[in-house]
Amino acid sequence: MESNPFVQKMLGYGEQGWELALSWLTSPAAWSQFALLVVAFGLAWLLSRRINNALRGLLTPAEDADGLIATARRFVLRFLPLMLPLLAYAFTAVGEQVVRSLFDSGAVIAFGKRVFLFLAARRLVHRIISDPFLKLLGKFILIPVAALYAVDLLDTATTALSEFRVGLGNISFSLMSLVRGLIAGSLLFWLGRWSNDQSAAMISKQKELRPATRQLAVKTVEIIIFGAAFLLLMNIMGISLGSLAVLGGAIGVGLGFGLQKIASNFISGVILLLEGQATVGDFVELDGGEAGTIVKMTARAIILETYDGRWIVVPNEDFIVTRVINYSDQGSANRYEAEFSVSYDTDINTVPAIVEAAVQGHPDVLAEPYPADCELRGFGDSGIDFSVEFWVNGIDDGRHKYTSDVLFLIWNALKDNGIQIPYPHRVIEFKGEMPK
């Protein structure tokens, strides 16, 4: 029965490794190289301890320091665990040159040098990298590649992946190019996300810019970063941008009709950011009844948070093609009314002054553009109807219940002045005999 070619190849590599190990064990030159490896590691261990202690004392910032220099010093300190394997690698490289010049042989010490590099990669992944995505790439890509390099099989694996081709219609590409594209794409887009987060945080700190301008700057930087990452990835994978243009034109015609809404929402979002008529923190109400505070503006939609804690995702286009009421407008005043009634026995000429003074005493009621104004509205069935108008900075909902506070003030002021608030009176007339 014929064996699997892959199994045969692995068995061949195993036999070669076993023969190589036996030759090393019986060779005086190999034992001298082993001794050099031990000496190189010992020197690296002693020197790394001294250097690490000196660098820790020099680079460790104060606990409360949070500036750019302190952040850079903490970043450098994270890489100190690499000092031992890298020094061992460097000393072994020097020893390899000496051995090859003397004995014209250095396979053992070259193997040891590659092992030290593998230990450096392993320490980098397990002790230094903290980002979950980068740690995942390190475990499943960097460490296996370093292990193949340590046993001198990296070139063999690369050649095998390059020879293995995958066909997709008229397109054919090697498995190596696919692996290279996946690795490069993962790193590029992680770097793009990190760069975008850093630039967004920096732009958000520029308080002299309008909120809408900051949002537009963040979106512009995001498009530039990921656009550059995409073009660089295409270059790494060897894909012609000219062929992409032809393919993109064909696909664009087909998808254009289906993506009209997405394109419309994206352009509407850019217009909103440029005009600045609605921005994060504003309380808005749409014709459709959606109302809430803008908490986030994305490329496709605006997210409103209602006062009961719910989030409403409203497409950007709705803010362009429908009427939008902006109650906030970055701190402008809003007018509200509070209605009440008094008894017909009241001298109504005294009511406006009493109520206006009480309402104006509220700390949030403004004197500009107009002070509190009490107006007679009509003569009701049970009492005389009044309404007081007042201006405040904010929305009469959520954390601020201005109308409720004003009604409490009116009630207390009328009670203090002996003015009664009526309750309904009804007169019932019976025709004929009274019921028994």
Q: Where are the alpha helices (DSSP H) in 276-313?
A: none
Question: What is the DSSP secondary structure assignment for residue 435, as one 8-state letter?
Answer: P
The pLDDT tens digits for 50-68 are 888 888 888 787 777 777 7
Using CA atoms, how far residue 237 sits from 159, 174, 244, 246, in Å, is 17, 11, 13, 18
Distance of CA 258 to the CA centre of its chain: 28
Using CA atoms, how far residue 107 sits from 34, 148, 151, 158, in Å, is 10, 16, 11, 21
Residue 89 has pLDDT above 80, yes or no: yes
Residues 152 and 201: beta-carbon distance below 8 Å: no
Which regions of 29-157 does DSSP assign to beta strands (E)? Answer: none
In this prediction, residue 354 carries a pLDDT of 92
CATH fold of 239-329: SH3 type barrels. (2.30.30)
Residue 408 has pLDDT above 90, yes or no: yes
> For residue 376, what are the contacts with CB-CB under 8 A and spacing of at least 6?
348, 352, 384, 385, 386
The pLDDT tens digits for 111-123 are 888 888 888 888 8
3-state secondary structure of 295: strand
Show contacts of 44-52: CB within 8 Å, 24+ apart: 44/84, 44/85, 44/87, 44/88, 44/90, 44/91, 45/84, 45/88, 47/87, 48/83, 48/84, 48/87, 51/83, 52/80, 52/83
Residue 255 has pLDDT above 70, yes or no: no
Region of poorest pLDDT, from 221-225, 281-285, 312-316: 221-225
- Band the pLDDT of 191: cuts 50, 70, 90: confident
Distance of CA 382 to the CA centre of its chain: 60
The pLDDT tens digits for 115-159 are 888 888 888 888 888 888 888 888 888 888 888 888 877 888 888
Question: Is there a shared CATH topology between the 239-329 domain and the 331-415 domain?
Answer: no
Residue 428 has pLDDT above 60, yes or no: yes
Note the pTM of the prediction, 2 decimals: 0.50
3-state secondary structure of 294: strand
End-to-end CA distance of the chain: 115
> What are the sequence ranges of the domains in the chain?
11-162, 176-236, 239-329, 331-415
The pLDDT tens digits for 10-43 are 555 555 555 555 555 556 566 677 777 788 888 8
Whether the ω angle into residue 315 lies within 30 degrees of 0, i.e. cis, is no
Residues 191 and 226: beta-carbon distance below 8 Å: no
Residue 71 has pLDDT above 70, yes or no: yes
For 201-206, what is the mean pLDDT?
Answer: 74
In this prediction, residue 26 carries a pLDDT of 53
List the structure tokens of 321: 């093609």
More confident residue, 322 or 104: 322
The angle formed by the CA atoms of residues 88, 92 and 94, to the nearest 5 degrees, is 125
CA distance 357 to 361: 6
List the structure tokens of 187: 């790193």
In this prediction, residue 412 carries a pLDDT of 93
Place of tokens 């009961």: 308
Residue 326 phi, psi dihedral angles, 5° rounding: -105, 110
Region of poorest pLDDT, from 51-55, 139-143, 259-263, 321-325: 259-263
In this prediction, residue 80 carries a pLDDT of 86
For 407-423, what is the mean pLDDT?
Answer: 90
In this prediction, residue 1 carries a pLDDT of 42
More confident residue, 253 or 97: 97
For 68-84, what is the mean pLDDT?
Answer: 82
More confident residue, 346 or 106: 346
The count of residues in the chain is 436
The pLDDT tens digits for 350-401 are 999 999 999 999 988 988 888 999 999 999 888 899 999 999 887 776 566 7
CATH annotation of 331-415: 3.30.70.100
Most confident of 8-17, 136-145, 300-309, 404-413: 404-413
For residue 320, count other CB atoms closer than 10 A to its CB. 17
| Helical (H) or strand (E) element with 410 | helix 402-416
Q: Where are the alpha helices (DSSP H) in 205-276?
A: 211-237, 241-256, 260-275
Region of poorest pLDDT, from 193-197, 209-213, 380-384: 209-213
Letter string b/e over residues 254-290, b meaning 16 or more CB atoms within 10 A of that residue's CB = eeeeeeeeeebbbebbeebbeeebbbeebbbbbeeeb
